[in-house]
């Protein structure tokens, strides 16, 4: 069997749980259609719980419809872009579905963005309307972008009465350097209040016909290897397809009868599509958290009897040692999932010893509408991010060519399926590089170096851009990091290649030690540890101790920022 045929045979199907098939029926619906179906079916059920405040599906639909009516009255219509610059809160859910209902597309902006980054995204996405948390408005003003509508909302609007004062003081601590616009300023600047719109307009949104296959639902921005972030074009069809694929792959979730803790940020594709859409489009209850307070999250897990837990590696790394982790009966959950980065094996092993449960890894990108692979629930494999979802095709090609490589060999992962983006917004060259044609089908080049074993399970090695070339050897930064994390006194690590004319790239490791080890462990000791556990050419030649390492929005070590530091003159 030639390599291409090995992938076309989909060996992973043999390891799907019993009853799960590769066929996925994707309804010809828009995202708001799915929401309306659930709101009608589970009208009396609780859709959202926000610090104790409960909102039913009927109430949520009413507010979505009121806000959609308001947006239409403000001139927002089909094809427009609405920017959401919000923390996780009920207003995010309302604005999201209301914007889509009037035919607009949304672009989510990270609350930690600087005014420069906000300006780029607003202008690049052609945003005309923004829904903004009032404590974040300072950054919008500094961005200096002329918008048709700016709608302000306050986090306390949906807090229970007793928590409103507490809520304001808590957010004051987190965002203490930002001020809330005064009523006088709001009036003079022509800003609009979110709650005023809900009171003024009836729940009678315009009837807008949406073509799921063509109409864009979202423009989520993703970091490029260089330069400013670019937006993946995701249609309603992409998002509805992903929901259908996940339903087939995780049939143990019961529609209208699950509860999910929603602390992952909705501006990120993981929080937006897997947590928010995955919950609302199946009639689940979401317990919303604006900030990931671990104690509050663990308490809510037990208080509300959560069905599933979605986390990122840094969170599991923290929880495996945290004294209060045992307050949760983890064995009761239907799914404990991890995404957004690769879990270190040491974290997996410590978690299993601590809780007696398994973490199910998944893989995905903004360009795949969040997910393409998941671990089979009955048969996860350590060190693997699982198998392709139903309806997906996956293969591996040379990372510097187009030939298919045999199973077991490392190359670039390529994907084909109904959840693959349409391209990059206003980036024709980037789209041509990312989306390739194979026998009339659209395949995504992921930029990730992986291998597939004989059973069809996929294993992550590194990002193409993080591959280090030392004296002709290929060194995966992640492999070096895995070894560093096994050192009992290393808390965090990041590995990059430093350009060098003699050897190509020198391996450099940035290391954060546990507090009790700082000043007591030398660079030489770390190198000797690496020599005992790595081939000679993989051993870092430079060790730099840091108090902390730069992180991405979802908490993983940002190799890009570390690499940029090494390239500075």
Residue 166, domain CATH: 3.40.50.980
| Residues 151 and 266 reside in one and the same domain | no
pLDDT band (50, 70, 90) for residue 190 = confident
As a whole-number percent, the residues of the chain with pLDDT over 90 amount to 78
User: Closest Cα to residue 464, out of 225, 226, 269, 229?
Assistant: 225
- How do strand 411-416 and strand 441-452 relate by DSSP bridges? antiparallel
For the chain, give the mean pLDDT.
Answer: 92
The arithmetic mean of pLDDT across residues 311-329, rounded, is 92
| Residues 338 and 426 reside in one and the same domain | yes
3-class SS of residue 186: helix
User: Closest Cα to residue 248, out of 65, 424, 417?
Assistant: 417
Report how many domains make up the chain. 3
| Residues 140 and 200 reside in one and the same domain | yes
The arithmetic mean of pLDDT across residues 15-34, rounded, is 95
Res. 467: pLDDT tops 60: yes
Of 408 and 183, the structure prediction assigns the larger pLDDT to: 408
CATH number of the domain at 481, please: 3.30.300.30
Domain that holds residue 159: 57-209
350 lies in some domain: yes
Predicted pLDDT at 226: 41
CA 506 to chain centre: 32
205 lies in some domain: yes
φ/ψ of 491, rounded to 5, equals: -90, -40
385 lies in some domain: yes
Angle between helices 477-485 and 345-355 (to 10 degrees): 40
* Token pair for 270: 């993981």
φ/ψ of 84, rounded to 5, equals: -110, 110
Between the alpha carbon of residue 2 and those of residues 5, 6, 405, 410, the distances in Å are 5, 6, 9, 16
Predicted pLDDT at 165: 53
| Residues 235 and 374 reside in one and the same domain | yes
Cα 164 from Cα 171, distance rounded (Å): 11
369 lies in some domain: yes
| Residues 114 and 250 reside in one and the same domain | no
Predicted pLDDT at 174: 52
| Residues 448 and 491 reside in one and the same domain | no
> Which of residues 178, 209, 240 is at a domain's end?
209
Predicted pLDDT at 222: 87
| Residues 261 and 202 reside in one and the same domain | no
Cα 76 from Cα 9, distance rounded (Å): 47
pTM over 0.75: yes
| Residues 124 and 266 reside in one and the same domain | no
| Residues 7 and 125 reside in one and the same domain | no
Angle between helices 90-101 and 31-41 (to 10 degrees): 120
Residues 6 or more apart whose CB falls under 8 angstroms from that of 168 comprise 155, 156
CB 248 within 8 A of CB 390: yes
> Which of residues 462, 495, 511 is at a domain's end?
462
From 176-180, 294-298, 457-461, 562-566, the region with the lowest mean pLDDT? 176-180
50 lies in some domain: no
The arithmetic mean of pLDDT across residues 424-435, rounded, is 94
Count of CB atoms situated within 10 Å of the CB of 479: 16
| Residues 235 and 367 reside in one and the same domain | yes
Task: Give the DSSP letter string of 78-116.
Answer: TT-EEEEE--SSHHHHHHHHHHHHTT-EEEE--TT--HH
311: Cα within 13 Å, side-chain hemisphere: 23
| Residues 411 and 338 reside in one and the same domain | yes
> Which of residues 462, 480, 500 is at a domain's end?
462
| Residues 445 and 476 reside in one and the same domain | no
The arithmetic mean of pLDDT across residues 438-456, rounded, is 95
As a whole-number percent, the residues of the chain with pLDDT over 70 amount to 96
Tokens 């309306």, located at residue: 36
């Amino acid at each position: 069997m030639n390599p291409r045929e090995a992938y076309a045979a989909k060996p992973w199907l043999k390891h799907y749980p019993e009853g799960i098939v590769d066929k996925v029926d994707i309804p010809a619906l828009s995202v708001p259609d799915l929401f309306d179906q659930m709101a009608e079916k589970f009208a009396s059920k609780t859709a959202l719980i926000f610090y104790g405040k409960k909102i039913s599906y009927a109430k949520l639909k009413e507010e979505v419809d009121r806000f959609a009516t308001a947006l239409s009255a403000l001139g927002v219509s089909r094809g427009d872009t609405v920017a959401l610059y919000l923390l996780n809160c009920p207003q995010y859910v309302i604005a999201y579905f209301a914007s889509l209902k009037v035919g607009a597309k949304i672009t989510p902006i990270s609350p930690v963005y600087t005014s420069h980054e906000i300006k780029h995204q607003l202008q690049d996405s052609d945003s005309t309307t923004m829904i903004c948390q009032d404590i974040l408005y300072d950054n919008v003003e500094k961005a200096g972008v002329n918008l048709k509508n700016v709608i302000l909302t306050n986090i306390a609007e949906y807090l229970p009465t007793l928590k409103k004062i507490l809520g304001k003081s808590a957010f004051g601590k987190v965002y203490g350097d930002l001020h809330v616009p005064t009523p006088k300023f709001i009036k003079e600047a022509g800003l609009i209040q979110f709650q005023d719109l809900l009171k003024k307009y009836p729940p009678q949104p315009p009837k807008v016909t949406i073509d799921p296959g063509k109409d864009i639902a979202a423009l989520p921005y993703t970091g490029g290897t260089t330069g400013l972030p670019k937006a993946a074009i995701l249609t309603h069809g992409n998002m509805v397809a992903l929901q259908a694929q996940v339903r087939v792959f995780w049939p143990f979730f019961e529609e209208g009868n699950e509860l999910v803790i929603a602390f992952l940020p909705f501006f990120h594709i993981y929080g937006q599509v897997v947590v928010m859409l995955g919950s609302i489009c199946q009639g689940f209850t979401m317990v919303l958290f604006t900030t990931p307070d671990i104690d509050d999250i663990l308490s809510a897990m037990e208080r509300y009897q959560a069905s599933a837990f979605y986390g990122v590696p840094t969170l599991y790394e923290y929880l495996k040692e945290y004294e209060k982790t045992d307050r949760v009966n983890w064995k009761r959950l239907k799914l404990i999932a991890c995404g957004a980065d690769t879990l270190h094996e040491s974290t997996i092993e410590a978690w299993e010893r601590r809780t007696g449960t398994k973490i199910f890894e998944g893989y995905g990108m903004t360009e795949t509408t969040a997910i393409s692979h998941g671990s089979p629930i009955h048969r996860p494999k350590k060190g693997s991010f699982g198998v392709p979802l139903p309806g997906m095709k996956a293969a591996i090609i040379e990372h510097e060519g187009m030939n298919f490589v045999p199973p077991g060999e490392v190359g670039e992962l390529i994907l084909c399926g109904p959840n693959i983006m349409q391209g990059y917004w206003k980036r024709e060259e980037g789209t041509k590089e990312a989306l390739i044609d194979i026998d009339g089908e659209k395949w995504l080049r992921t930029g990730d170096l992986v291998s597939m074993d004989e059973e069809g399970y996929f294993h992550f090695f590194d990002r193409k851009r993080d591959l280090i070339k030392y004296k002709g050897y290929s060194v995966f930064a992640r492999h070096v990091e895995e070894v560093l994390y096994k050192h009992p006194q290393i808390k965090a690590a990041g590995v990059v290649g430093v350009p060098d004319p003699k050897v190509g790239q020198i391996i450099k490791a940035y290391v954060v030690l546990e507090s009790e080890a700082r000043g007591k462990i030398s660079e030489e000791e770390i190198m000797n540890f690496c020599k005992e556990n790595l081939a000679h050419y993989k051993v870092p030649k430079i060790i730099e101790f840091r108090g902390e390492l730069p992180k991405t929005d979802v908490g993983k070590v940002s190799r890009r920022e570390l690499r940029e530091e090494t390239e500075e003159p």
